Structure 1
Amino acid sequence: MAMEKNIKILLIEDNPGDAYLIEEHLGEFANFSYEFKNVGTLNEVLSILKEQPYDVILLDLGLPDSDGVNTYLSVHNKNPLVPIIILTGLNDGKIESHALKEGAQDFLVKGKTEGRLLQSIIQCSIERKKRVAFYYLRL
């Protein structure tokens, strides 16, 4: 599933080491070109989303100024048409279930997701969100 344009990826991750590893894993296996931006707080995210559109958001739920599913809801409410993939250190089934019910595209645990899987999930999430938007536009 090849994509023609640069995919704009917003990573919301407050740990620089984790952000570096995520970008490295993605760069190692991505079969598409992308632009990558990392921010570390919810306030930064909300400000950036006003200025720049993104194709996909990778979201850590534990930020210095927000925590848990509320982090997801804050970002989703600001940009409901952008697919959000939760990429977090929280391996909690209740939080995962809640986030997915609220509309998260996927819930991945850091350290258990390799680059090929991440790039596939990014591509599928973007396509899925486009199809859903197209479906609702036809109604």
Structure 2
Amino acid sequence: MDTKPIKVLLIEDNIGDYQIILRMLDKSENTKFELTHVPRLSTGLKVLQNDIFDIILLDLGLPDCQGLKSFQVTLKKHPSIPIIILTGLANEETGINAIKYGAQDYLVKGEFNGKLLVRAIQYAIERKKVEGLFIY
């Protein structure tokens, strides 16, 4: 087991959703996480210039960028970091498009638990490694 924590950047404007995700990650027994939270895409992109993250959890309903555009902007600037989309909308078409465009996963808020989130993060990182784009 790797003892180094997984560095997660959560780009999410809803403080309640942030707290839920924080609790989910804190409860993980076998994997440790270091969570950085920012409420806007612009802030997240600035943070990504100065720090290295293992994964990005990205909300699609941000104040400064909406929908898949926020994902596309993030992916274009940081193609080597796996991105999991978080959304409050259970829109299957958006989820499929996100995966087609390169998202590692698409999770609907309120429809996943901590174990599923941890597994999605671990699998996303491993898939990105297999793609040969993951940078340590």
Deviation at residue 106 of structure 1 after TM alignment: 0.4
**What corresponds to 2:71 in structure 1?**
72
Matching of residues 43-62 of structure 1 within 5 Å = 43-62=42-61
Distance of 1:115 and 1:46 partners within structure 2: 26
Share of identical aligned residues, percent? 45
**What corresponds to 2:39 in structure 1?**
40
Distance of 1:95 and 1:54 partners within structure 2: 25
Distance of 1:33 and 1:5 partners within structure 2: 7
Matching of residues 1-139 of structure 1 within 5 Å = 2-133=1-132
What's the C-alpha RMSD, in Å, of the aligned pairs? 1.2
- Whichever structure has more helix as a proportion of its residues is 1
Runs of 4+ in 1 over 4 A off after TM superposition: none
TM value normalised by structure 2: 0.93
1:74-110 CA deviation, whole Å, 9 max, x = no partner? Answer: 1111110111001110211121111110000000000
Aligned residues: 133
1:13-69 CA deviation, whole Å, 9 max, x = no partner? Answer: 000111001110121135211210000111101111111110001110000000000
Moved more, 92-101 or 55-64: 92-101
Query: SS at 2:132's partner residue?
Result: helix
The letter of the residue matching 1:118 is: L
Distance of 1:101 and 1:115 partners within structure 2: 25
The letter of the residue matching 1:108 is: L
Q: Give unpaired runs (5+ residues) of structure 2.
A: none
TM value normalised by structure 1: 0.91
The letter of the residue matching 2:128 is: K
Q: Give unpaired runs (5+ residues) of structure 1.
A: 135-139
Distance of 1:16 and 1:39 partners within structure 2: 10
